[in-house]
Amino acid sequence: MSEGAGRASTPYLCPFCGEEDLRPTDHAGAPVWHCRSCLRLFSLTFHGLAPREASMLSAAPAAHDWSDES
**pLDDT tens profile 18-52:** 999 999 999 988 889 999 999 999 998 888 888 88
Number of domains making up the chain: 1
pTM (whole model) above 0.75: no
The answer to whether residue 57 sits within a structural domain is no
What element of type H or E holds 24?
strand 22-27
Q: For residues 55 and 58, what is the distance between their CA atoms, to the nearest angstrom?
A: 5
- Which DSSP letter does residue 69 get? -
Residue 14 has pLDDT above 70, yes or no: yes
Spatial strand order in the sheet of 41-42: 22-27, 30-35, 41-42
Per the domain annotation, does 26 fall within a domain?
Answer: yes
Collapsing DSSP to helix, strand or coil, 39 comes out as coil
Q: Give the side-chain half-sphere CA count within 13 A for 11.
A: 23
Domain range spanning residue 41?
A: 9-50
